């Protein structure tokens, strides 16, 4: 039996986007075993594109959320009980995840899974736009291709 690393409630299995994940009935946090986030992102049963996010204030809210997440009490892996390591997902998402140092999975607080899916879809859209622009740029001498490569590297 797995318990929530935040409030020690028993986690309940639920199916989300075709993947069985563990959720806390009290705090609405989610435990994802290794590979489950990738499976959810691949399935994309829900499309978060066009979901209102609040515009510029979202960046401020995300920064506040990151500061709060960094000050939370230490949490333990629901599988091996090792201390979870806090890190920003993909270095630019503004979403702090708690990850097992032994590779068992990750803990996501309430709404962080949906925010990760929005981030993933935004990145996919950006990649498609850049690829399309690169194709058009070939006829113009390749200046954009150099700029796109630079942007991807940063």
Q: What is the pLDDT of residue 128?
A: 60
* Distance from C-alpha of 150 to C-alpha of 33, rounded to nearest angstrom: 34
Q: What is the pLDDT of residue 77?
A: 96
* Distance from C-alpha of 100 to C-alpha of 22, rounded to nearest angstrom: 15
CA dihedral 117, 122, 128, 133 (to 10 degrees): -170
Q: What is the pLDDT of residue 71?
A: 66
Secondary structure letter of residue 32 according to DSSP: E
The DSSP secondary structure of 11-26, one letter per residue, reads: PEEEEETTEEEEE-TT
Provide the whole-model pTM.
0.67
Q: What is the pLDDT of residue 29?
A: 96
Rounded average pLDDT per 10-residue block, the chain, 154 residues:
95 95 96 93 59 48 63 88 91 85 95 85 62 66 71 74
* Distance from C-alpha of 4 to C-alpha of 24, rounded to nearest angstrom: 6
Q: What is the pLDDT of residue 57?
A: 39
* Distance from C-alpha of 85 to C-alpha of 71, rounded to nearest angstrom: 12
């Amino acid at each position: 039996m797995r318990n929530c690393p935040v409030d020690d409630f028993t986690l309940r299995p639920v199916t989300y986007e075709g993947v069985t994940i563990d959720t806390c009935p009290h705090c609405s946090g989610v435990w994802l075993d290794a590979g489950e986030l990738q499976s959810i992102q691949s399935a994309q049963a829900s499309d978060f594109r066009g979901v209102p996010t609040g515009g510029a204030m979202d960046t401020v809210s995300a920064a506040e959320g990151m500061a709060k997440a960094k000050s939370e009490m230490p949490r333990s892996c629901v599988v091996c009980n090792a201390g979870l390591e806090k890190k920003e997902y993909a270095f630019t998402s503004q979403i702090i995840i708690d990850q097992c140092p032994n590779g068992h999975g990750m803990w996501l607080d309430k709404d962080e899974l949906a925010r990760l899916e929005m981030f993933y879809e935004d990145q996919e859209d950006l990649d498609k736009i850049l690829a399309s622009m690169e194709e058009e740029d070939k006829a113009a001498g390749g200046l954009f291709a150099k700029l796109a490569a630079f942007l991807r590297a940063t």
